[in-house]
Each structure stands twice: as C-alpha cells, then as structure tokens.
C-alpha cells in the first residue's frame, strides 16, 4: 500500500431531518442556515479545535442555487463564525455529496496538504425540489445514453425489482417496516439524540425548536404498507413506505490527520481505511454500492466477512436488498443499520453520507469487538460510494 498520512473522523453531528414541503418544520428555514447550525454545534462540542487551523470546509448540495448555492463551504464557514482565513468550497455528487466532502478532504489530509477539515452536506428538498431547474443534455435521451427511467429514481428502483424478481415487494415492505421499528427503538434508547443539533424553527404558531427527526413513522405495519399506492408505475412495487422520503437537513463532520487529532487532544471516533466510488447502469442506479464496496474492500485488502457493521443508505428498500443479496447477507442481519435507516430517518440527498458515518461512529463505541465497518450509498445517474472505517475502540474479537 502507498505510504500516506492516517486520516480520522473525529466527530460528526447533524440537524434533525425534516419533512420537505410547506408543512415541514424547516419550510421557513434557509438551507444554508441548516448547515451553519450544524457547524456551530460541531465546533461548540469540540472546543479544543483551533478554528484558525482548519484548512478547508467542504459542504455538499445537489441543487446549488439560491440559499443552497454561492459556494456553500465558504459561506457557511463565515456564517458559523470561523475566521475569514479559513477557506471553503462546495461539492456535488448528488446523494453522495457529504460522503464525497469527506473523501475529498480525507484525500487532502492523506496527501499532507491539510491537517483539519470540516466536511458535510445539506439538502433542503422543500426549497429545492429534486431535479428542479435541471436541464439534462438532450443527447442523453436522443442518443439513448440512458432511458428516461434513469432520470427518475423511483423508476430505477422498480427496475431493480424487475431484474431481481426474488426481491419481492413483500421483502421490501418488511425491510422498510423493520427500519421504522429499529429507529423507534433507537430513539427510545436515546441513541440518536446525542448527535442532533437543535434548530430554531418558525411556523404560523410562532417560534419552536426542532429536536427530533420529523419523518419517522414508528407505527408502520405490513398491512399499512401493503395498501400504499405505487407512484412510479401502475402495479409497481415501490411505494412511499418502502422508499426514503423528501427531506430537509444538514450534516457536518470534523476530519483530521491522526497526528493533528493527537496534537489538539481530539479523540477520533473512526479511522478511514479505504474508499471507492463506482459507476453502474444509470437505469439501476441502486446497485451502485455493490461495485463500490467490492472496490473499497479490494483496496483495503479486506473481505465482506471482515465487516462487523454496515450503515447503508436506504434510498429504496429494494436497492438495499440487492446489496445484501449480492453479498449473501440476510435481510434482517443485525449488523445492518442497527438503528434504522433513511426509510425512517429521511434522506436529504447531499447530507446523508455523513449521517451514515455519525451512526457508525456511535455503534463502534458500543461494539469494541467490531474492527471494521462500512458506510455505503447509491447515487443518481448510476453510481455507488463506499467508505470503510476501522474502530479505534477495537479490543479484539471478530
Ligand atoms: C415515494 C414518494 C413519491 C412519496 O411521496 P409523497 O406521496 O409525498 O409521500 P407521503 O409521505 O405523502 O406518503 C404518501 C402516502 O403514503 C403514506 N405512507 C407513507 N409511509 C407510510 C408508512 N410507513 N406506513 C403507512 N403509510 C405510509 C402516507 O401517509 C401518505 O398517505 P396519504 O396519501 O393517505 O396521505 C417520495 O417520497 C419520493 O419521491 N421518494 C424518493 C426520493 C428519492 O428519489 N430520493 C433519492 C434517492 S436516490
């Protein structure tokens, strides 16, 4: 392996995730303010961090316009009170935006260019609906580079059902219901709350405080899911119940070289082992995490059996099932999303990658017998992203 500087994930926080739209809790909150809030929260709980030593701030968003444009890393850094000497930039890899903020700053740390960086993402899907104002090059369809299905994420999930008929709607619904129930149990046990930064919100009733995710439906049942419409295709299998929803939220993390973490007295929560992105046919974008995980495992010299915990983004239940099926992992394997996933929590596109890392980092603390964990997600237009992490609390065992 190439000689490189060790990269660690020191800490990560997020805003509670809201439901997008006029009735959602963040309807009157700016997108950039969500990222600013999260960043202030991260800095407040890591007071040892010398702010003037932060080398860069990378913040992702998919729709980079209006209050979600203007080079978010720079604007949010200034608004969060970082010295003006700290630079910043914006990132876009759609759903893997925050994950790419992490891997890009990690690359700079590994190269020795940076010591400390803030990496995260935001998506306010209420103010910036998916695909709004997008202008895909007409060649995509005219030259049949992709079918129209490739541009509609729900249709790509239907296509995975088509391709793998044994991944039935019943299995997808059961997976989705379990995600809801696991999240409810995690909230009950106070696992989620410690990493949430409350956000002041304004509604017709006046000021309030967002302290919990807004989208979860803990009362979900198989009967309830069975009766839902299939919005993407008549008699389809993908429903609002077995998909992630439309959400608003922001995440941020503090990345560092192991040496800088030591110098500033910061206790790393995870050590980065490897990462990889991969492309797949855009029509079945949801299988993207399969090749990206294979690639990341190969680069790390590990096999899937070495992985003790998985945080997989649940864009759609069927798409997670295709990953589990490929690697021979049971639908209800306890190593997978133990505290639920995006189907329950929500998926504000470019922010979700760091949400996976926040949860994996907490689980590492609880599982010193686990050495390696994976965060992985699918990405629109046919991509997957995977980061493999090592548990600094590892005490031996499997
Ligand atoms: C699937 C999707 C179109 C649904 O949007 P929506 O219709 O606004 O969703 P809603 O939350 O209003 O749910 C629709 C209905 O299902 C019901 N429902 C949703 N989840 C449910 C659950 N777990 N149990 C029971 N009912 C549920 C709602 O109550 C609602 O019922 P109603 O019509 O009687 O009010 C939308 O969430 C979507 O596009 N998701 C995918 C997002 C995406 O592509 N992300 C990128 C991934 S790569």
Above 60 in pLDDT, residue 189? Answer: yes
pLDDT tier at 2, thresholds 50, 70, 90: low
pLDDT of 117 above 60: yes
Model confidence at 3, in pLDDT bands (50, 70, 90)?
A: confident
Calculate the average pLDDT of the chain. Answer: 97
Residue-level pLDDT at 150: 95
State how far the Cα of 17 lies from the Cα of 124, in Å rounded to an integer: 10
Q: Give the pocket of ligand 1 (CB within 6 Å).
A: 95, 153-154, 217, 220, 224-225, 228, 231, 240-241, 243-246, 315, 347, 380
**Residue 279 confidence (pLDDT):** 98
Q: What is the pLDDT of residue 4?
A: 84
Sequence-distant contacts of 36-39: CB under 8 A, at least 24 apart: 36/76, 36/79, 36/80, 37/197, 37/199, 37/250, 38/13, 38/14, 38/120, 38/122, 38/197, 38/250, 38/251, 38/252, 39/76, 39/77, 39/80, 39/82, 39/118, 39/120, 39/252
Residue 1 has pLDDT above 70, yes or no: no
- pLDDT tens-digit profile of 344-384? 999 999 999 999 999 999 999 999 999 999 999 999 999 99
Planar angle of CA 245, 243, 311, nearest 5 degrees: 95
Distance 394 CA to ligand 1 centre (A): 39
Q: What is the mean pLDDT of residues 226-251?
A: 98
Inform me whether the pLDDT recorded for 273 exceeds 60. yes
What's the chain's length in residues?
A: 398
Using alpha carbons only, how large is the chain's radius of gyration in Å?
20
Structure-block tokens of residue 54:
């932060």
Task: Report CA(239)–ligand 1 centroid distance (Å).
Answer: 7
Reply yes or no on whether the pLDDT at 396 is more than 90.
Answer: no
Rounded Cα distance between 14 and 42, Å, is: 9
Of 97, 231, 237, 245, the one to substitute when testing ligand 1's pocket (max ligand atoms within 8 A of C-beta) is: 245
Per-residue pLDDT, averaged over 314-339, amounts to 98
Residue 398 predicted with pLDDT over 60: no
User: Which residue among 152, 219, 240 has the greatest number of ligand 1 atoms within 8 angstroms of its CB, and so is best to mutate?
Assistant: 240
Q: What sign does the CA torsion over 21, 25, 30, 35 have?
A: negative
Write the residue with the smallest CA distance to atom 2 of ligand 1.
240
- 86: tokens are 């700290």
Ligand 1: residue whose CA is nearest its atom 6? 240
Q: Write out the catalytic residue numbers.
A: 95, 347, 378
The fraction of the chain above a pLDDT of 90, given in percent, is: 97
The pLDDT tens digits for 129-142 are 999 999 999 999 99
Condensed to tens digits (0 to 9), the pLDDT of residues 60-84 reads 999 999 999 999 999 999 999 999 9
CA nearest ligand 1 atom 1, residue: 240
Centre of ligand 1 to C-alpha 238, Å, is 10
Q: Tokens representing 159? A: 């296509």
Whether the predicted pLDDT of 256 surpasses 90 = yes
Cα–Cα distances in angstroms (integers) from residue 294 to residues 149, 304, 392, 393, in the given order: 26, 8, 23, 25
Q: How far apart are CA 398 and CA 385, in angstroms?
A: 25
Q: Average pLDDT of 91-95?
A: 98
Q: What is the DSSP letter of 2?
A: -
DSSP E strands, the chain: 7-14, 18-19, 56-60, 88-91, 116-124, 199-203, 206-210, 247-257, 270-279, 307-312, 372-379, 383-390
Rounded to the nearest angstrom, the distance between the alpha carbon of 101 and the centre of ligand 1 is 28
pLDDT of residue 247: 98
> How many whole angstroms from 178 Cα to the centroid of ligand 1?
17
SS3 sequence of 374-390: EEEEEECCCEEEEEEEE
**Ligand 1 atom, smallest distance to 285 CA:** 48
DSSP for 295-344, please give it. Answer: HHHHHHT--GGGEEEEEE--SBHHHHHHHHHHTT--TT-TTB-TT--HHH
Give dist(CA 327, CA 93) in Å, integer: 25
* pLDDT at residue 119 in the model: 99
The residue whose CA is least distant from atom 14 of ligand 1 is 240
Q: Distance (Å, rounded) from C-alpha 169 to C-alpha 174?
A: 8
Across the range 97-119, mean pLDDT stands at 98
């Amino acid at each position: 392996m190439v000689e490189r500087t060790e990269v660690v994930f020191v800490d990560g926080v997020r805003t509670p995730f809201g439901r997008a739209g006029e009735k959602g809790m963040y309807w009157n909150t700016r997108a950039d303010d969500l990222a600013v809030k999260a960043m202030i929260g991260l800095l407040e709980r890591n007071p040892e961090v010398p702010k003037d030593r932060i080398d860069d701030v990378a913040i992702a968003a998919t729709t980079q316009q209006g209050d979600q444009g203007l080079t978010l890393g720079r604007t949010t850094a200034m608004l969060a009170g970082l010295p003006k000497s700290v630079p910043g930039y914006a990132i876009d890899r759609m759903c893997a935006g925050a994950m790419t903020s992490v891997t890009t700053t990690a690359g700079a740390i590994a190269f020795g260019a940076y010591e400390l960086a803030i990496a995260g993402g935001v998506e306010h899907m209420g103010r910036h609906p998916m695909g709004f104002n997008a202008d895909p090059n007409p060649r995509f369809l005219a030259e049949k580079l992709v079918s129209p299905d490739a541009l509609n994420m729900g249709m790509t999930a239907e296509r995975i059902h088509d391709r793998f008929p044994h991944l039935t709607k019943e299995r997808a619904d059961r997976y989705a219901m379990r995600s809801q129930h696991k999240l409810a149990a995690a909230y009950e046990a106070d696992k989620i709350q410690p990493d949430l930064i409350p956000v002041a919100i304004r509604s017709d009733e006046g000021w309030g405080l967002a302290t919990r995710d807004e989208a979860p439906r803990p009362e979900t049942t198989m009967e309830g899911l069975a009766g839902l419409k299939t919005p993407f295709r008549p008699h389809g299998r993908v429903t609002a119940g077995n998909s992630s929803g439309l959400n608003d939220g922001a995440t941020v993390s503090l990345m560092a070289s192991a040496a800088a973490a030591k110098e500033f007295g910061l206790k790393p929560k995870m050590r980065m082992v490897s990462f990889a992105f991969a492309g797949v046919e855009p029509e079945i974008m949801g299988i993207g995490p399969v090749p990206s995980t294979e690639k990341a495992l190969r680069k790390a010299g590990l096999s899937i059996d070495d992985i003790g915990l998985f945080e997989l983004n649940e864009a759609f239940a069927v798409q997670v099932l295709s990953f589990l099926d490929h690697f021979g992992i049971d639908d209800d394997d306890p190593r997978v999303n133990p505290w639920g996933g995006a189907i329950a929590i929500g998926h504000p596109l470019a922010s979700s990658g760091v949400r996976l890392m926040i949860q994996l980092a907490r689980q590492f603390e609880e599982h010193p017998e686990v050495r390696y964990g994976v965060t992985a997600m699918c990405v629109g237009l046919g991509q997957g992203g995977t980061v493999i992490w090592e548990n600094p609390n590892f005490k031996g065992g499997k």
